[in-house]
Amino acid sequence: MKSAEYQGDIGPDGNLYPFKVAVRDGVNAEAVAMLSQTPHMEVTDPNDPTAQGALIRSKTKFKTPEEFAVFPHMMYVARVGVGVDNVNMKLASENGVATVNTPGASTAAVAQRVVALMHGWASRIVQGTQALRSHEWPKGDKNVEPIDLSEKTLGIIGYGRIGQEVRRRVEGAVGNVVFTDTNTDIEGRIALDALLAHSDIISLNVAGNDTILTEEKLRLLKPGALIINTARGGVIDHAALLRKMDEGASAALDVFPTEKQEMFEDPIISGIVGHPNFLGTPHTAASDPVTQKKLAKEAAARMREFAREGIINPLNIPGHSLPNVSMDGTEDGGIVPGIRGVFLHRSVPGALNAVTDCIAKRDINIHDLLNREGPDGLAATVVHLDERDPQAALAILQCINERLRPLRTRLLLYV
């Protein structure tokens, strides 16, 4: 059977309206065009308080109640990038906002930077360049003596997409690769302390900003170890790192605890970047135009899925306000004609009964129904009705509002 098409959202007056997306922070133009050219979607003003979705990079923050209050109808925030540290997930849940980020598109670029930093360290490119700029010829000096990686062990902390891609790219170049991860079920995983004690090179590829390499953990490292960080600045105790560098360790960093010009006012960061055992880049691992375009298009695809089908976090990426919320439709993957309700609400007993009771009172058939709960108390209930009358759906919505008091709601019409 031919799949029914999304016609828009049913407004309080029974009329149809496009799904509105606020695009912020200079998101790639091709991704914006994807949305603006999608039927029944509207790219609206970046500050439009009626926006239901937002594409953001790192400049826009959703970390305080006031920042969420700017968009009282917001239901879905798609972060163009790997991290989501500019979004407070607990507040997102409390405000009925589902979230998603785009880790897949930058995997290759970040893994490539890890490998480049490793080879740059082993080749002593920074030291050689600095000597030649000073009109010195240091061949034979131990400071520019290359390091043979074939007898070195690389330890990967965080064995997700990027960690696995790093391993794939270095196999054959290094002598051994070990890894650890918070997921204890991954076959081959070793303990963090064992990894730190036995690795010559450490690559941090973790999610989140929790400090992993504390002063205590850094004491476990070999004296001349290399630490590569392309994850988040907060995962390392930088004061302890600087002391370790003074003892002979090296640091290859793409991320820092504070960034931009003010970072150099911090004597610890200034000491690290000025250290002879440092090499790094200014958070540019995934900043090339091709990667940025891929990231933006991935975020736009996520937003389009939510706008047209009510799909949230389809890859079930951890750390978000909701897990995967995805209704399959018909057996052949299509969508039957009808009205789909999306209700984001607090996880409370009886929520599902409230929805089904309100529908049963109208004697309308439920074609499909699902409920998902997030880690911070947010839940999503999605119901597809064999009904195309907007007024009937609005009556059901009124009942659900009275019984469940959802934080955010949508009614999507399919014909």
Q: Give per-residue pLDDT as tens, 109-135.
A: 999 999 999 999 999 999 999 999 999
What six digits make up the tokens of 256? 């820092």
Q: Secondary structure of 339-400 in the HEC alphabet? A: EEEEEEEECCCCHHHHHHHHHHCCCCCEEEEEEEECCCCEEEEEEEECCCCHHHHHHHHHHH
CA-wise closest residue to 23 among 44, 52, 37? 44
Residue 10 sits at φ, ψ, to 5 deg, of -80, 120
For 262-280, what is the mean pLDDT? Answer: 97
pLDDT at 141 over 70: yes
Helix (H) / strand (E) containing 410: strand 408-414
Question: Looking at residue 329, what is its pLDDT?
Answer: 59
pLDDT at 266 over 90: yes
Residue 330 banded pLDDT, cuts 50, 70, 90: low
For 347-360, what is the mean pLDDT? Answer: 96
Bridge partners of residue 62, in order along the sequence: 87
CB 180 within 8 A of CB 195: yes
Bridge partners of residue 35, in order along the sequence: none
DSSP 175: S
Query: For tokens 């400090």, what's the residue?
Result: 211
Q: Name the 3-class secondary structure at 149.
A: helix
Percent of the chain with pLDDT over 90: 93
* Distance separating alpha carbons of residues 19 and 283, to the nearest angstrom: 34
Residue 209 banded pLDDT, cuts 50, 70, 90: confident
* Distance separating alpha carbons of residues 258 and 367, to the nearest angstrom: 51
Helix (H) / strand (E) containing 300: helix 289-309
* Distance separating alpha carbons of residues 253 and 243, to the nearest angstrom: 16
Q: Give per-residue pLDDT as tens, 36-86.
A: 999 999 999 999 999 999 999 989 999 999 999 999 999 999 999 987 889
* 342 half-sphere exposure, CB direction, 13 A CA radius: 24
* Distance separating alpha carbons of residues 360 and 340, to the nearest angstrom: 15
All domains of the chain in start order, with CATH? 6-104+290-321+330-414 (3.40.50.720), 107-280 (3.40.50.720)
DSSP 150: G
Question: Looking at residue 149, what is its pLDDT?
Answer: 98
Question: Looking at residue 176, what is its pLDDT?
Answer: 98
pLDDT at 21 over 60: yes
Mean pLDDT over all residues of the chain? 96
Helix (H) / strand (E) containing 295: helix 289-309
From the CB of residue 219, how many other CB atoms can be counted at a distance below 10 Å?
13
Residue 332 banded pLDDT, cuts 50, 70, 90: low
For 384-405, what is the mean pLDDT? Answer: 97
| E strand residue ranges, 106-265 | 153-157, 176-180, 201-204, 226-229, 250-253
Q: Using CB atoms within 10 A of its CB, is residue 45 exposed (0-12), middle (13-18) or buried (19+)?
A: exposed
* Distance separating alpha carbons of residues 327 and 23, to the nearest angstrom: 26
For 176-204, what is the mean pLDDT? Answer: 97
Residue 198 banded pLDDT, cuts 50, 70, 90: very high
pLDDT at 331 over 60: no
